[in-house]
């Protein structure tokens, strides 16, 4: 007789210990997130946060991925974002650099360790670069520098960059601790998840504080939240089952019949990565433009200001470019991941075969076509998720005025992260419960 595993969630000592460790580390992360970066001008930062222009919009965009730490410009203002970006870059470079590709094929375990090491090194560089860019662009978008003398005084600049880079690496370390001692392989995701969830009260409080948008705003948020969650779950669980014939096994002197099976291909293989990477790419033009805002040439200053206005997060051009890049990166990243799986050769080695398709290269090409077809709706969906804040505030003007154009961030990109993390955590806990003999769980299959 099967037992209901989730009833024993707290009584299973090993699982209880992992849950408590995870919660304790997340609380520690939230506490450290309130430690401000040295030298921050609180008045200048508050003025930027309360503005209604492109500056506030860009801050809210970056604040989402950082886990809500940008608004007080803490030492964790970048969260684990640099590590995620570095991880994506290393993954994309692996099939391009021949020596890395050979190492991954000949010694997968050793290659994985080398990739982790390269990712950490690149994370330090990315964190320092992003910290420098964030401070410059936020200072340029506000009326006053958020850190006086930054970029002018060497000691101030080095101190700030060191503190923010160390904060990022500390956040990454906390994520690794969760993955090792808490909920397995969910550390970094839970760090971002905790930051997004912590912003929910302020989102609804901001809507409630404006009487003319109170009813429309809150009802709109709840309605779009429910619809978005439903669609995200459908897309995230979507699979295309490709029929596969597996060879029979020899039992004594006789041979069993071939076995019919399926190869499930994910509709959304790239997950949240296209949104994160597209946002990272779109941030760079604004960062580069900030270096030319004090140029002696009026033409250069005007051009730099125009670039910042476009890529500041409030322009319609920004959202159109964002949508296009998310769709393109969804196809590109899915293709990179799919090629690394090398299904054609793996099926050929096991003797499996797709009906009416030759083994090896022909199978890989056929699967590439199938994956590309099912990736299109998920890429289009990710693009819509990316621009949902803009679409919502255009369709509901009163909501846009109340939330300064960013009130639906928690209900689009943030929800995609939240739903994905919750689902992965449930699957992880479900597997742990089954290992302890509690097979009948509440997880919906």
Rounded to whole angstroms, how far apart are CA atoms 340 and 112?
Answer: 13
Does 210-248+259-408 match 1-198+412-445 at the fold level? yes
- Choosing among 3.30.110.30, 2.50.20.10, 1.10.3370.10, 1.20.140.10, the CATH entry for 1-198+412-445 is 1.10.3370.10
Query: CA torsion angle for 321, 322, 328, 333 (degrees, to 10)?
Result: 150
pLDDT for 365: 87
Please, are residues 76 and 67 in contact by the beta-carbon 8 Å criterion?
yes
Helices and strands in the chain, H and E counts: 17, 4
Tokens 């401070």 correspond to what residue?
135
In 10 A of CB 307, how many CB atoms?
Answer: 17
Residues of the chain with pLDDT under 70: 1-8, 50-68, 141-143, 202-203, 206-207, 210, 212-214, 217, 248-258, 287, 290-291, 293-294, 312-314, 396-413, 436-445
| SS3 label, residue 259 | strand
> 210-248+259-408 falls under which CATH superfamily?
SecY subunit domain (1.10.3370.10)
Helix extents (H) in 36-95? 42-50, 54-66, 81-93
Helix extents (H) in 396-412? 397-403
Rounded to whole angstroms, how far apart are CA atoms 233 and 165?
Answer: 35
Which whole-number Å values give the CA distances from 251 to 75, 239, 244, 350, in the listed order? 63, 33, 22, 17
What are the extents of the domains in the chain?
1-198+412-445, 210-248+259-408
CA atoms within 13 A on the CB side of 19: 14
Rounded to whole angstroms, how far apart are CA atoms 249 and 227?
Answer: 47
Structure tokens at 107: 């010694």
pLDDT for 443: 42
In 10 A of CB 73, how many CB atoms?
Answer: 25
pLDDT for 61: 62
pLDDT for 442: 42
Nearest-CA neighbor of 37 among 62, 1, 74, 85?
A: 74
């Amino acid at each position: 007789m099967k037992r209901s595993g989730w009833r024993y969630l707290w009584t299973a000592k090993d699982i209880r210990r992992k849950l408590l460790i995870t919660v304790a580390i997340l609380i520690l992360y939230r506490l450290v997130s309130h430690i401000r970066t040295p030298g921050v001008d609180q008045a200048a930062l508050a003025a930027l946060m309360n503005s209604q222009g492109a500056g506030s919009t860009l801050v809210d965009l970056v604040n989402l991925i950082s886990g809500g730490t940008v608004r007080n410009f803490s030492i964790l203002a970048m969260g684990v974002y640099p590590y995620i970006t570095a991880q994506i870059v290393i993954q994309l470079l692996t099939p391009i650099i021949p020596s890395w590709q050979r190492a991954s094929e000949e010694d997968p375990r050793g290659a994985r360790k080398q990739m982790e090491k390269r990712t950490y090194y690149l994370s330090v560089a990315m964190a320092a670069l992003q910290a420098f860019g964030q401070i410059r662009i936020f200072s340029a978008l506000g009326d006053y520098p958020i850190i006086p003398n930054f970029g002018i005084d060497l000691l101030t600049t080095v101190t700030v960059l060191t503190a923010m880079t160390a904060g990022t690496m500390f956040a990454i370390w906390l994520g690794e601790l969760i993955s090792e001692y808490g909920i397995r392989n969910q550390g970094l995701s839970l760090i971002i998840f905790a930051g997004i969830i912590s912003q929910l009260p302020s989102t609804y409080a901001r809507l409630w504080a404006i009487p003319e948008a109170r009813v429309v705003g809150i009802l709109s948020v709840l309605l779009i939240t429910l619809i978005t969650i439903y669609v995200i779950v459908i897309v995230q669980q979507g699979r295309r089952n490709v029929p596969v014939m597996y060879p029979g096994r020899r039992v004594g002197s006789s041979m069993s019949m071939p076995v019919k099976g399926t190869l499930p291909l994910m509709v959304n293989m790239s997950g949240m990565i296209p949104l994160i990477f597209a946002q990272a790419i779109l941030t760079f033009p604004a960062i580069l433009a900030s270096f030319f805002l004090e140029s002696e040439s009026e033409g250069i200053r005007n051009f730099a200001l125009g670039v910042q206005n476009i890529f500041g997060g409030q322009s319609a051009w920004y959202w159109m470019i964002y949508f296009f890049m998310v769709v393109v990166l969804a196809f590109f990243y899915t293709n990179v991941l799919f090629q690394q799986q090398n299904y054609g050769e793996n099926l050929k080695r096991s003797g499996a075969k797709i009906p009416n398709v030759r083994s090896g290269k022909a199978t890989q090409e056929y699967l590439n076509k199938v994956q590309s077809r099912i990736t299109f709706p998920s890429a289009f969906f990710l693009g819509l998720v990316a621009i949902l804040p803009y679409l919502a505030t255009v369709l509901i003007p009163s909501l846009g005025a109340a939330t300064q154009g960013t009130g639906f961030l928690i209900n689009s990109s943030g929800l995609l992260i939240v739903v994905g993390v919750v689902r992965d955590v449930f699957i992880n806990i479900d597997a742990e419960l089954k290992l302890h003999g509690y097979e009948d769980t509440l997880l919906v299959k």
